[in-house]
Amino acid sequence: MSLAGRTALVTGGGSGIGAALTRALVRRGAHVVCADVDLAGAESVVATTSGPGTATARHVDVTSAGDVAAAVADVVAAHGRIDLLFNNAGITFLGNTEDLGLEQWDAIIDVNVRGVVHGVHAAYPRMLAQGGGHIVNTASMGGLMAAGLMTSYVTTKHAVVGLSLALRTEAAAHGVGVTVVCPAAVDTPILDKGEIGRYRGRDFYLEGQGVRRPVDPDRLAERVLAAVERDEAIVVEPRQARIAWRLGRLSPTLVNRLATRFVARQRARVS
């Protein structure tokens, strides 16, 4: 699929991966709605984006099915179709599971799971009716492997992976592609959010895991768009993450032991 002239809706577009996707799409000639609950952030991204394509900012709260449906409907009204949906908005919580309140569980499920469901519910039937399209859901390595101290995040991202791979098997017969993106730590503001108790995001995700540098969001965005053009099912970045994922598939018991040791090391770091 060539992306020139395509229409796209990117949620969580006001920063991080969503901002990088917006920039990369515009460079490839797509017409993008950069949507975010933080309208000022989305407007800032649009103001600094250039290329043969176009970008407009829009306030969208992905926890609201009505917000998402209205955004999709407006893309169709303006362009006659919606070619690309990037369900990218997400949040995280980091800390001991017993310290999570139900309000935090509700919040992360509403954004990370219901937000994706709302996007699929609004856009997928339209893509079926128009005979094609592509849905990209941002998950995480946490959706392929599991480690404690980010239990709620892992839970939601496993759900996104399952939804994506299952929908892909249905959508293929209708000319609709589905890709799920599973990166390791990406250099975005989420690394500094969702901290509970003594754990600190950037230390946890980088130093605590032996990561020298996080994934560059602009490089990831280019990799994701290449995957869309080739209709790939899953994107795992960087190379070290792909190696870890394959190891986990070959020896889940070993990886579970390593994850248990990882939790112990993280606890020791903050004790």
Report the CATH number at residue 92: 3.40.50.720
pTM, entire model = 0.95
Q: Dmax over Cα atoms in the chain, in whole Å? A: 57
The dihedral over CA atoms of 13, 15, 21, 27, expressed in degrees to the nearest 10, equals 100
The pLDDT score that the predictor gives to residue 193 is 74
In a domain, 153, yes or no: yes
In a domain, 44, yes or no: yes
In a domain, 114, yes or no: yes
Q: Whole domain around residue 219: which residue ranges?
A: 7-270
Active-site entry in 124, 153, 199, 205 = 153
In a domain, 2, yes or no: no
- Asked if 42 and 30 touch (Cβ cutoff 8 Å), the reply is no
In a domain, 203, yes or no: yes
State the total domains in the chain.
Answer: 1
Contacts (Cβ under 8 Å, ≥6 apart) of 7 = 30, 31, 32, 75, 78, 79, 81, 82, 83, 84
The pLDDT score that the predictor gives to residue 199 is 72
The pLDDT score that the predictor gives to residue 26 is 98
The pLDDT score that the predictor gives to residue 173 is 97
Comparing CA positions, the residue from 131, 268, 183 lying closest to residue 191 is 183
The pLDDT score that the predictor gives to residue 201 is 65
Question: Which residue in this structure is represented by tokens 């800032």?
Answer: 44
In a domain, 1, yes or no: no
What tens-digit pLDDT sequence spans the chain (271 residues)?
Answer: 789 999 999 999 999 999 999 999 999 999 999 999 999 999 999 999 999 999 999 999 999 999 999 999 999 999 999 999 999 999 999 999 999 999 999 999 999 999 999 999 999 999 999 999 999 999 999 999 999 999 999 999 999 999 999 999 999 999 999 999 999 989 888 777 767 767 766 777 766 555 678 899 999 999 999 999 999 999 999 999 999 999 999 999 999 999 999 899 888 888 7
The pLDDT score that the predictor gives to residue 209 is 59
In a domain, 116, yes or no: yes
Strands 84-87 and 31-36: unpaired
Question: Which residue in this structure is represented by tokens 């990370």?
Answer: 112
Active-site annotation holds for 153: yes
d(CA 138, CA 127): 19
In a domain, 90, yes or no: yes
The pLDDT score that the predictor gives to residue 69 is 98
